[in-house]
């Protein structure tokens, strides 16, 4: 708890309207205020140096004008933390560089699915990947287009895709994905239902491609194997912690989440399939206190925010 007789910390935030609506909610504003943290909206079209004063900047904007605005502010205020540096965020906006960070960690029993980048839709005969595949737009910028993923069952399913995109081997994982939320010193792993397993026998009867938005119909159509969600064990906490600490250091980020699946062919192995900067924390239990504590830690310099 803060000493409320002292001056509250001023946290300036710059978010998209959608992000602001889901994150800057009354319960967060109230809890933060009661604990000496005031969240103040930034006008990204105006110079940051004319706004504030701020003890910390929290943002999730990507355009070049905003990056220049941040750079100008940081050059004049080198001791004020910025969550997070655009350079670190950009690593997660590309689906190849995103997962390359996992491979650099070299943590036992962890890895990423086999994947390649397709820059033009020609010469796809010798992919050296095994079907089924997942096709993902190369850019993971949070736009509606970036969320348009497809399951690809055969070569015909590649015909209507728009380059550039990433092709990733689909790994059977029991129909369960583990989501790990990270906010500074805090992390939490939860499980969610995912795409059902696809056996080689069932794959013979699956043709073309299927948007992820329709993939929930896969099991009903006889293409997927059932999910034993309630009986699925969580990953070892020691392994999750090792991934969290490794990714924090490699990415120089403190506010992100990542998705992990258990390899259906080897239950000891876990694969990271996605990493997101500043995800939907409001879905997480007690997120108000987690975020408030995180922001206080950042201002206190108890957390290293990369270059700041």
**Residue 300, annotated ligand binder?**
no
**Residue 147, annotated ligand binder?**
yes
**Residue 298, annotated ligand binder?**
no
**Residue 174, annotated ligand binder?**
yes
**Residue 169, annotated ligand binder?**
yes
**Residue 46, annotated ligand binder?**
no
| DSSP bridge partners of 277 | 256
**Residue 175, annotated ligand binder?**
yes
**Residue 95, annotated ligand binder?**
yes
**Residue 194, annotated ligand binder?**
yes
Q: Find out whether 93 and 62 touch, Cβ atoms under 8 Å.
A: yes
Return the closest-CA partner of residue 180 out of 87, 257, 233: 257
**Residue 73, annotated ligand binder?**
no
Rounded distance, CA 298 to CA 205, Å? 53
**Residue 197, annotated ligand binder?**
no
**Residue 266, annotated ligand binder?**
no
**Residue 19, annotated ligand binder?**
yes
Q: Find out whether 203 and 151 touch, Cβ atoms under 8 Å.
A: no
**Residue 178, annotated ligand binder?**
yes
**Residue 173, annotated ligand binder?**
yes
Rounded distance, CA 199 to CA 153, Å? 12
Cα separations (Å) of 218 from 153, 177, 212, 221?
12, 17, 10, 5
**DSSP 8-state class, residue 164:** S
Q: Please give the order of strands across the beta sheet that includes 115-118.
A: 115-118, 165-169, 133-137, 150-152, 209-211
| DSSP bridge partners of 215 | none
**Residue 60, annotated ligand binder?**
yes
Residue that the structure tokens 């080897």 belong to: 266
Rounded distance, CA 249 to CA 308, Å? 14
**Residue 262, annotated ligand binder?**
no
Tokens for 295? 């922001």
**Residue 168, annotated ligand binder?**
yes
Binding site membership for 1D-myo-inositol 1,3,4-trisphosphate: which residues? Answer: 19, 60, 147, 276, 280
Binding site membership: which residues? Answer: 19, 60, 95, 136, 147, 168-179, 194, 259, 274, 276, 280
Binding site membership for ATP: which residues? Answer: 95, 136, 168-179, 194
Binding site membership for Mg(2+): which residues? Answer: 259, 274, 276
């Amino acid at each position: 708890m803060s000493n409320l007789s002292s001056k509250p910390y001023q946290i300036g935030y710059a978010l998209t309207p959608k992000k602001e609506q889901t994150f800057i909610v009354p319960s967060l504003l109230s809890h933060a205020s009661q604990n000496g943290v005031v969240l103040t909206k930034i006008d990204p079209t105006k110079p940051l140096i004319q706004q504030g004063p701020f003890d910390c900047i929290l943002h999730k904007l990507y355009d070049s004008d905003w990056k220049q605005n941040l750079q100008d502010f940081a050059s004049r205020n080198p001791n004020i933390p910025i969550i997070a540096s655009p350079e670190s965020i950009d690593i997660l906006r590309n689906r190849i560089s995103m997962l390359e960070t996992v491979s650099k960690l070299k943590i036992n029993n962890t890895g990423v699915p086999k994947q390649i980048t397709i820059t033009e839709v020609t010469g796809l005969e010798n992919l050296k990947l095994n079907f089924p595949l997942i096709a993902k737009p190369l850019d993971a910028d949070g736009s509606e287009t970036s969320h348009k993923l497809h399951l690809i069952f055969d070569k015909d399913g590649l015909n209507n895709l728009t380059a550039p995109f990433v092709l990733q081997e689909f790994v059977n994982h029991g129909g369960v994905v583990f989501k790990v939320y990270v906010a500074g010193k805090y992390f939490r792993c939860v499980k969610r239902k995912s795409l059902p397993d696809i056996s080689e026998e069932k794959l013979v009867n699956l043709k073309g491609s299927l948007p992820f938005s329709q993939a929930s119909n896969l099991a009903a159509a006889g293409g997927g194997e059932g999910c034993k969600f309630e009986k699925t064990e969580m990953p070892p906490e020691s392994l999750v912690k090792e991934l969290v600490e490794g990714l924090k250091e490699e990415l120089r980020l403190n506010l992100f989440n990542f998705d992990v699946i258990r390899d259906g062919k080897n239950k000891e192995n876990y694969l990271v399939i996605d990493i997101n900067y500043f995800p939907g924390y409001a879905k997480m239990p007690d997120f108000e206190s987690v975020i408030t504590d995180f922001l206080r830690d950042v201002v206190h310099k108890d957390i290293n925010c990369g270059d700041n």
